[in-house]
Structure 1
Amino acid sequence: MFKGLSAFPLTPFKEEHVDEHAFLALLGRLVEANVDSIGVLGSTGSYMYLSREERRRVIELSVREAGTIPIMASISELRLRDVLALAEDAQQAGASAVLLAPVSYQPLGEEEAYSLYEEVSRHASVPICVYDNPRTTRFTFSDELHGRIAALPHVQSIKIPGVAADGIEAKEHIDRLRSVVPAKFALGISGDDCAATGLTAGCDVWYSVLGGLFPRICLELTRHAQARRADEALRVSAQLAPVWSLFKRYGSVRTAAAIAIRQGWMSAPGLPLPLAPVPASEIGRIVDCLDALS
C-alpha cells in the first residue's frame, strides 16, 4: 500500500467534538478521486488531541467510507501502554497499516525510540510506517537508527520530512537512506512543497496534506513523478507555490483548516482548541489559486 499518493485529511471539529458529517465529506472527495491510500489521524488529523474512543471512531468511519482504498491510522501516544492499545484498536477497526511517531514529553534517546518500535512490531499484525517528524516530536533519527528499525518485523515504510530543493542533493539523501533499509522498503516524502523533488529523487509515496483537500491535482503531480516526467511534476508543484508559502509560514494543519473553512467543507474554527486556523485575511491572498484548484 506504500506507493503513489497517500492523502491525509483533517479531522474537523465542531463545538469541541469530531464533526463526523464534515469528515465523511472530506473522505468522500478522496474516494471519488481514487487516491492510492488515506492516512487518518496524522498531524493533519490532530491525533494527539483526540481520546482513544474518538480515534477508534475516526478509523471505523474511514474504513467504512474508503471501501477498497487502504487506510493507515496513527497510533502515536506518550506511553507504550497506550500505543499498544491504540494499535489493537486500529487493527480491530480494519486499518491496513499504522503510523507511529516517537512522541514524548521527556526527549527520547535512540535506544528508547528503538525499544518503542521493537515492542510495537512484536504486537502488530499490519504494516508499520515510521513517522520521522523532528519539527513536532523534537526527535531526530540517525540513518543508523532508521536502518535498525526498518529491519524489524512489519516495519515497511518511513515517512520522512522534506528534502532539499536541489534534485541532486535530494537524491543523495534518498540514496543514503536506501543503503540502510531492506530491499523493496518504501520511502515516503511528507513535505508537500518538496514532494515533486522527493518523488523524482526516488521516494515511493507522497504522504500529502494537500492531497487531503485537493486530491486530483496531487494525483496529477504524483503520476507525472511516477512516470519519470520530472519537469511536469515540478510544473504542477510550482502552480501550488502560494499554498506552499502559507504552509511554511503557518504550518500545514492551520493552513489546511483555513482552506477547508473557506471552501465550505467544515465550520470555523474546525480545529481542537486552543489551535486556530490561519486568519481568513491570509487565505485571501491565495484565493485565485484555490479557485483554480476548485
Structure 2
Amino acid sequence: MFTGLSAFPLTPMNETEIDESAFSGIVSRLADAGVESIGALGSTGSYAYLTREERKRVAQLAVAAAGTTPVMIGIGSLRTAHVRSLAEDAQDAGAAAVLLAPMSYQQLTAEEVFGLYEAVTRELSVPLCVYDNPGTTHFTFTDELHGRIAELPKIGSIKIPGVPVDPAEAAGRVQSLRSHIPSTVTIGASGDPFAAAGLNAGCDVWYSVLAGVLPKPCLALTRASRNDDQNTATALSNRLEPIWELFRTHGSLRVVSAIAEHLGLVESPNLPLPVRGLAEAARSKVASALEQVHDLL
C-alpha cells in the first residue's frame, strides 16, 4: 500500500458540518482515477480542526467511497490517549493504514516522540506511516530516531519533507535515511514541488496534496519516475510550476481548496475557520495556472 501515488483529499466543511456528499465525491473521483491509495485526514484534510466524532465519520465515508482503493487515515492528536482512540476508530472504519504526526503544544523531545509511536503501534492491527512534517509539528526527526521508530511493529512507511532539488543531494538524503531503516519500510516524498526529485532519488511513494484534486498529472509524473523515465517526471513537474508557485505563495491547502472550487467539486466556504479561502485576486491566478496546464488535466 505504501508505493506509487497516495492522494490526499480535502475535507470540505463549513462551521456547521462536513459536506459529506462533496467529500465522498472527491474520494470516489480519486479511486476512479487509479491512485494507489488515498490519505484521508492528512493536513490537507484539516484533521487537527475536527472533533473525534467528525473524524470518525470522515473515516467511514472515505473507506465507503474508495471502494477497493486502500485508505490511510490520519490519527494525529495532542494526547497519546486521544491518538489511540482515533486509531481504534480508523481501524473500525476499515482503514488499511494510519498516518501519525507527533502533534504538540509543548515542544516534544525525541524520547517523547518515540514513546508516542511505541504506545500507538503496540495496539495497532494495521500498518502506520510516520508523518515527518516539521512545518506543522515543529519537531525535527533525525535519521537515528526514524531508525528506532522503524523497528517498532506495524511501521510501514515514512513520509519525509521535501528533498533537495539537486539530484545528487536528493539521492544522498534518501540513501542516508534508508541506511537507518528496515527494507520493509518505504520512504515517501512530500512537498509536492519536490516530489519528482524525491521519486527520482529513490522514494517509493508520493504523498501528494495536488493529487487530491488533480490526480491525472500526478499519476503521470509518478509512473514516469517508477518506469525510470526521470526526464519525463522532471519535465512534468516543471510544467506544473505555475501551481507550485501558488503553493509557495499561499500554502497548498488554500490553493487546492480554490482548485476544487474552480472544478465544481466543492462549494464555498470549505475550510475550517480561522483558515480562509483565497481572495479574489489569488483565485484569478489559480484559474490562470490551471489554464496554463489544461492539457495535462
> Which TM-score band applies after superposition, normalised by the shorter structure?
over 0.9
Structure 1 match to 2:116: 116
Q: Would you say the 8 A contact 2:25–2:65 is kept in 1?
A: no
Map 1:262-281 onto structure 2 (within 5 A).
262-281=262-281
For 2:64, the aligned partner's letter is R
| Offset from partner CA, 1:235-261 (integer Å, 9 cap, x none) | 111111011011111211111112212
State the partner residue of 2:84.
84
Question: Bigger CA drift: 221-230 or 11-20?
Answer: 11-20
Question: Does structure 1 retain, via aligned residues, the 8 Å contact 2:129–2:157?
Answer: yes
1:71 Cα deviation after fit: 0.3
* 8 Å contact from structure 1 (residues 63, 93) kept in 2: yes
State the 1:286 CA deviation. 3.8
Identify the residue that residue 290 of structure 1 maps to in structure 2: 290
Matches of 1:267 and 1:286 in 2, distance apart?
A: 16
For the pair 1:28 / 2:34, whether they are aligned, the reply is no
Deviation at 1:283, TM superposition (A): 2.8
CA distance in 2, matches of 1:256, 1:289: 12
Alignment RMSD: 1.0
**Pairing of 1:43-122 with structure 2 (within 5 A):** 43-122=43-122
Using the alignment, how far apart are the partners of 1:249 and 1:269 within structure 2?
A: 20
Once the two structures are TM-superposed, the CA of residue 15 in structure 1 deviates from its matched residue by 4.4
Aligned to 1:197: 197
Corresponding residue pairs, total: 294
CA distance in 2, matches of 1:39, 1:280: 29
Matches within 5 A, 1:112-261: 112-261=112-261
CA distance in 1, matches of 2:290, 2:280: 13
Cα distance in 1 for partners of 2:278, 2:208 equals 19
d(CA) in 2 for partners of 1:133, 1:62:
23
Letter in 2 for 1:280: E
Q: Which runs of 4+ in 1 moved over 6 A?
A: none
Q: TM-score, normalised by structure 2?
A: 0.97
Asked whether the equivalents of residues 262 and 287 of structure 2 are also in contact (C-alpha less than 8 Å), the reply is: no
Deviation at 1:280, TM superposition (A): 2.9
Amino acid of the structure 1 residue aligned with 2:66: A
**Counterpart secondary structure, 2:267:** coil
Q: Would you say the 8 A contact 2:259–2:286 is kept in 1?
A: no
> Where does structure 1 lack aligned partners over 5 or more consecutive residues?
none
- The residue type paired with residue 276 of structure 1 is R
Shift of 1:281: 1.4
Once the two structures are overlaid, the 10-residue window that deviates more, 244-253 or 131-140, is: 244-253
With the length of structure 1 as denominator, give the TM-score of the two structures.
0.98
Please state whether the residue corresponding to 1:99 is helix, strand or coil.
Answer: strand
**How far, CA to CA, are the matches of 2:161 and 2:243 in structure 1?**
18
Percentage identity across aligned positions? 54
CA distance in 2, matches of 1:136, 1:238: 26
**CA positional deviation for 1:29:** 1.4
Quick one: distance in 2 between partners of 1:87 and 1:32?
27
Q: Is the 8 A contact 2:258 2:286 kept in 1?
A: no
Deviation at 1:86, TM superposition (A): 0.3
**Further displaced range: 108-117 or 261-270:** 261-270
Q: Deviations over 1:64-123 (max 9, x none)?
A: 111110000000000011000000000011000000000010010000000000001101
Offset, 1:282: 1.4
Unpaired runs of at least 5, structure 2: none
Q: Is the 8 A contact 1:16 1:273 kept in 2?
A: no
Q: Residues 16-49 of structure 1: CA distance to partner in whole angstroms, max 9, x if unpaired?
A: 3110111111112101101100000000000011
